[in-house]
A and B are shown apart, each in its own frame.
Chain A
C-alpha cells in the first residue's frame, strides 16, 4: 500500500473515531437534558393534577363518585391520565392497560420529586410515568409520551452523522490531496534513483523545497555525484587498462609478425643473398626490440608494486655527473654535445631511480636532437631541468606524452629504438617521489623538461 493511502486511511479512522466519540458524548448529554426536561414537565403536570384533584375532592367533601372523577379527569388531561382502583379502570384513554402498569417498575421517590417515576417502552411507545397513591385506594398515573424527545434525539443524531460525513469526507479528500502533493517529491526522487540505477549517472532529483524531503533530495544528489565520480573514475581506469592492453599487444604483435614472417620466408623462399642478409638483420633487430619492450614492462610493473622509497639526501652535482657519464656515449655517437650547468643544491630521493628517470629524459632529448646540437642538464632550488634544442613537441601532444606506448612520431621513435614506455616510467618514478614534471616545448626550437621536487 502506498504511504499516502496508508496515512489517509489512518487519519480517516482517527477522525471518525474521535468525531464519533465526541458526537456520542454530546448526544448523550443532550438526551439526559431532554429527559430531565421531560421529567420536569411531567412532574409539573403531576403536581398540577394532584392539587387540582385535591381541590376538586375538597369541593365535594368526600362524596366524590367515579362519575365526577371521570368528568374531572376528562377536564384535566384526558389523554395522559390513568386512574385505577385496584385493577379496575376508572379512567383511561391511553394505550396502556392496567396489566402494563402492574408490571412497571418505579424508581424510589427521590427528595424533591413530587412522585415516584418510571420509564417504559411498550408497543412502540417510549413513555415516562408518575404514580400518585390517593388515600381512597385510587392510583393515578400520569403518562408522558417521549415520542417527541425520541424524534428530536434521532434528528440530532442524524444531524450529527450528516455533519460528520459532510465535513469528514471532504476533509479526508483534502488530506489525501495534500499528501499527494507532499509525497510527489518522493516520486521524483524514486524516478531519479531508477534512472541512475539504469545507468543515467548524470541524472539528479530536481526538488527545491527546504523541508526534510528537500534535505533528503540534496543528500541523494550528493550521493549521486559521488557515484558518478566513482563510476567515471572506474570507467576511465578501465579504459586506460584496455588501451594499455591493446597498445601492448600491438607493440608485441608487430615485431613478432616480422620475426616469424622473415623466419618463414627464409625457410620457404628462394631468396638472394642480399635479401637473406636483410631478413636476418630484421629478425635480429626486431627481437632486440621485443627484449627492450619486455625489460621496460618489467620495470613498469616493478615500479607499480613499489609503495614507498628509501629516501636519502642526494647531491645534485653527483647525480647529474652520473647521468652525464651514462648517456655521454650515446650522445657522442650521434654527434650531440651533452653538458651540465649550474648544479647546486640537493633533493630527497632514491638515487638509482632518479638516475633512471634522468637517463630516460636525456635519451629522449638526444633522440629529438640532430648532430651539432646541445643537451643541457641543470639543477637549482630543488628543480632539475633537461633542455634540448631539438625538434620540439606539438602543444596538443604534450598531455598524451606520459601515456604508455604513446609516441609523437612512431616510425621515428621505433627506428630510434623506443617502445613508448620511457615517459610512463619517468612519471611513475616521479609519483613515488611526490615530484611534478613540467614540459615546455616549441616546435623546431627545443624542449625543456623540468622536474620539481617537494621542498
Chain B
C-alpha cells in the first residue's frame, strides 16, 4: 500500500511541486490550500503517514494546525520560509519531527521523510521494484523464486535506488546515502557498482544514466496502479 501524505501549503506552486515528486516516489499526496481546510478534513479522514505543513498560511497557521494533527499521531514536518530560531524551536519543541527551511532540496525532503517514516512505522520488509523483490531483513534479492547473489554494497545501492525510484540521484548523493561518507572524487566507485547491478539483475534499461546528473531506477508501476 502506498504512503499517504498530507500537504498544507498556501502556495499552489510549492504544493504541486511536492506532490509531483511524491507521486514519482510512489506516494500519494492530499493537498490543502490553508490550515483551516486541512483541520476541518481531519476528523473524517486522518489516514496519513506524514504531514508536511507550511507555517504562514491564511486562516489557520501551521503551528495551530499542528495542534489539530498531533492527536492523530501523524508525524509532522514543518516546511517554511521562516528560518528564525524562535520558530524553529517552537516547531520542534511542540513535537514536530523535523523543520525544513525554504528554499529546500527535494531529495533532502524525501530522505528526511523516509527517515521519519522508518522511525515512526514498522519498516516494510520487502520492496518490490521492476519485478524484483528486495527482502530488506534477509538482505536477499529474488526474481520470482530465484535468488540473485549481490555483494553488500551492491545490495545497499539497489535499495537506495529502489526507495527513490523514478528520481535521478547524483553520484555524490549516492555516495553519501549508500557509503555514508563523502568519497570526494571517488564517483567511479558508483559507476562500477551500477555496472555490476545492471549486469547481475538484467536492469540495463531500467537503471537509466541521466546525463550530467546521475542514475535513475525507472519503474513504470505508478501508485494508482498499485492495487
A contacts, CB < 8 Å to B = 246, 249-250, 253-258, 260-262, 264-265, 267-271, 275, 278-279, 282, 285-286, 409-411, 414-415
Contact = CB atoms under 8 A, between A and B. Distances in A.
A50 B213 CA distance: 149
18 contacts: A249-B81, A250-B56, A253-B81, A257-B14, A258-B14, A265-B20, A265-B21, A268-B167, A268-B210, A269-B166, A270-B167, A270-B168, A271-B24, A278-B16, A279-B17, A285-B13, A409-B58, A411-B33
Given A250-B82, A275-B20, A275-B23, 5 more contacts: A253-B103, A261-B104, A264-B106, A265-B20, A267-B213
Nearest to A414: B11
B58 A410 contact: yes
A285 B107 CA distance: 24
Interface in B106-136: 106-107
A243 to B, nearest CB: 12
B166 A270 contact: yes
B20 A269 contact: yes
Nearest to B173: A268
The size bracket of the interface on B is 20 to 34
Nearest to A279: B20
Contacts, number: 89
A302 B23 CA distance: 45
B164 to A, nearest CB: 9
Contact of A269 (B24, B33, B34, B102): B24
A133 to B, nearest CB: 117
B186 to A, nearest CB: 21
Contacts of B10: 410-411
A278 B20 CA distance: 10
A411 B11 CA distance: 7
A286 B81 CA distance: 16
B216 interface: yes
B216 A261 contact: no
Q: Which of B16, B34, B167 has the largest count of A CB atoms less than 10 A from its CB?
A: B16
Given A249-B81, A262-B17, A282-B16, A268 B216 contact: yes
Nearest to A286: B13
Contacts of B169: 268
B58 A411 contact: yes
A253 B166 contact: no
Contact of B13 (A255, A269, A271): A255
Interface string B5-47: 0000011111011001101100000000110000000000000
